[in-house]
Amino acid sequence: MAPKEDRKDPAWAYSSRVSETNKMAIRSLFCDKISNGGICHQKAHLIGGDPNVASCPKVPGHVKEELKAYLQKKKELKTQMIHEQELYNLDDDDDDDEIEEGDDASSLPPKSQKRGRMLPPMSSSCGSTRKTKGPINCYFPQKSGDKGGKSGNPQVDAKAILRNSAVTMFARWMYDAGLPFNCVNYTDTFAAFIKAVGQYGPGMKPPTYYEVRGSYLKKDVAEVNKIVEEHKVEWNKFGCSIMMDKWTARNGKMIINILVNSPKGNMFLESVDASDSSTDSTKMYSLFKSTIDSIGAENVVQVVTDNASENVKAGDLMSAGYPHIYWTSCAAHSINLIFGDIFKERSFSTVFNQAIRVHSYIVQRPLLLNMMKRFIKQRSLVKLAKTRFATAFLTLHMMYEHKSDLKKLFVSDEYTSSAYVREARGRESVDIILSPSFWNNVVHALKIGVPLVKVLRLVDGEQRSPMGYQYEAIDRANEAIQASFSDQRKFKRVFEIIDKRWDNKLHSPLHAAGLVLNPELFYHNEERILGDEPLWNGYYECIQKLIHEESVQDKITEQFSIYRKAEQLFGKKHGD
């Protein structure tokens, strides 16, 4: 089987294959000359100086320097690997005899040579410059009379060698087992595993098939059940929220992940195949009901889903069957819908489509992409977020940050003397980037998008529960958006979209109670909060819905006076 081509070679950024059937035929993007010697021959063509290869007359100087540096780095790496291989072909017998510098490795016994070849090449050396020892010496500190190698710290070199060997073997096991690469991102359990193996030391036997599927699996199941019981105690004490996350699997099935949130944290409950019921409000209510009953209706405060119509109707049915439980719209989904509705408005859809056309035109042309990166200091214009609409606004924000750099790019001699100015989309990109109206529309989009993205980060974050902050954050975002426009009549439709999505979904009585009972916000904004009548209506409605006993409601009202004045425990500083 032919080896795979190295697409990491920087010469590919300035070259293209002529035909998939003839992989050796490569075209230069500068002079269109076709060479038939593969990418190595193409590098020689671009760098020049080879008497057997014609030089490219149009290649820029910085490209030559880039390719020369790449070749020099490969040459140095090859030299280093040869040196390290020689180190590991040295003798490592139990008598620990030292081999003087100048001894020929070819005179070693066959057994030593074979063992040396079996060891993988490593990334650094741990021997001294005067006397070269076998790898076993890397485990022991160097004598004070000896002088270290280049690094001056042979122990550090030894650790690098040993880690390289361990990672090589681990990666090879991953490949054999077909494990996904992201399994190493499970840092907590993976780090604990590495630490435990290190503490055991050499000679640990790997677990057997029967151990991992039998006794150790049972131990972990028992441990998980113990954690579940700890969560249930919290549910009973403080209440909990049921969260239902709907997504589509690769096979087209509609799956709903059900999680339970409490002060103890999130706990995954189960996954349900809802392919036949995800659009049926009655069946969705049945799922709500069965989940509530399994947890205990008295422990559930709210059920959180997206804004799909079947979920809204199921929430109404739930309110009739469980009057004390709230159905709550997912805040992140609601904000994403706001973004979607705004992008349907002509002025915003136009500016976004223009930005996409410019960006796609650039990234589809490697030379132009490299040119742009030099102007914007190797940054990327695309900034990913958790939703595609938020990504769009953040991308507009990145373009605005590099507004002057992009303008410089499209008026530079390098661009105006290139072939791109003769292309229709190239001229269109110039017109867009140099258009004042385009940048004015970008500013208008950002004035709306940036405050919404801040709220999205809050409600979709994992650092703290957003319930006590959401009401305030949405009010601040609304005020920031309105204050951004001197003539709000021009953007009346945008404010209608925002108000429609926010009313009764992101400003529910539950969110109002969360703000009132959040001391961080209450004590710093007491005057404004006390004067907010809709906020207090929501707060009292929440108390009446969650608490049926009037005596308990009276006690809450009595204790609120203590909370407001920061008396008793409310007045103690944290840590007192």
- Looking at residue 251, its pLDDT comes to 86
Confidence of residue 574 (pLDDT cuts 50, 70, 90): low
302: pLDDT strictly greater than 90: yes
505 and 467 Cβ atoms separated by less than 8 Å:
no
Comparing 28 with 487, which gets the higher pLDDT? Answer: 28
116: pLDDT strictly greater than 90: no
78: pLDDT strictly greater than 80: no
339: pLDDT strictly greater than 80: yes
Residue 473 CB coordination number (10 Å): 22
- Looking at residue 139, its pLDDT comes to 40
Comparing 34 with 387, which gets the higher pLDDT? Answer: 34
Which CATH superfamily groups domain 223-329?
A: Ribonuclease H-like superfamily/Ribonuclease H (3.30.420.10)
What is the residue extent of each domain of the chain? 223-329, 337-491, 508-576
469: pLDDT strictly greater than 70: yes
Q: Distance between CA 86 and CA 199 in Å, rounded?
A: 31
3-state secondary structure at position 164: helix
Task: Find the mean pLDDT for residues 2-23.
Answer: 72
- Lookup: tokens for 535: 């906020």
Nearest to 8 by CA among 85, 84, 64, 73: 73
**Least reliable range by pLDDT among 38-42, 190-194, 321-325, 401-405:** 38-42
348 and 445 Cβ atoms separated by less than 8 Å:
yes
161 and 126 Cβ atoms separated by less than 8 Å:
yes
Task: Find the mean pLDDT for residues 2-25.
Answer: 72
132: pLDDT strictly greater than 50: no
Q: Distance between CA 29 and CA 15 in Å, rounded?
A: 5
Comparing 465 with 147, which gets the higher pLDDT? Answer: 465
499: pLDDT strictly greater than 60: yes
Percent pLDDT > 90 in the chain is 37
Q: Distance between CA 494 and CA 276 in Å, rounded?
A: 36
- Looking at residue 383, its pLDDT comes to 72
298: pLDDT strictly greater than 90: yes
Confidence of residue 391 (pLDDT cuts 50, 70, 90): confident
Length of the chain: 576
- Lookup: tokens for 394: 């953040």
Q: Rounded to 5 degrees, what angle do the CA atoms 15, 19, 20 make?
A: 105
- Looking at residue 433, its pLDDT comes to 95
**Least reliable range by pLDDT among 64-73, 253-262, 304-313:** 64-73
Residue 45 CB coordination number (10 Å): 24
3-state secondary structure labels for all residues of 236-304: HHHCEEEEEEEEECCCCCEEEEEEEEECCEEEEEEEEECCCCCCCHHHHHHHHHHHHHHHCHHHEEEEE
- Looking at residue 63, its pLDDT comes to 84
Task: Find the mean pLDDT for residues 473-499.
Answer: 82
58: pLDDT strictly greater than 80: yes
Place of tokens 């040869």: 82
Mean pLDDT over each residue of the chain, to the nearest integer: 81
- Looking at residue 337, its pLDDT comes to 87
- Looking at residue 504, its pLDDT comes to 64
Confidence of residue 137 (pLDDT cuts 50, 70, 90): very low
C-alpha count within 13 angstroms, C-beta hemisphere, residue 69: 7
pLDDT in tens, 81-111: 554 444 344 444 444 433 333 344 433 334 4
State pTM to two decimals. 0.64
pLDDT in tens, 138-155: 444 444 444 444 456 766
Q: Distance between CA 517 and CA 431 in Å, rounded?
A: 53
Task: Find the mean pLDDT for residues 524-547.
Answer: 90
Q: Distance between CA 349 and CA 445 in Å, rounded?
A: 10
- Looking at residue 561, its pLDDT comes to 86
Give residue 400's Cα distance to chain centre.
23
575: pLDDT strictly greater than 60: no
pLDDT in tens, 307-335: 888 999 999 999 999 999 999 988 888 88
Place of tokens 């699996």: 217
| E strand or H helix that includes residue 527 | helix 526-530
- Looking at residue 483, its pLDDT comes to 85
**Least reliable range by pLDDT among 4-18, 398-412, 418-432:** 4-18
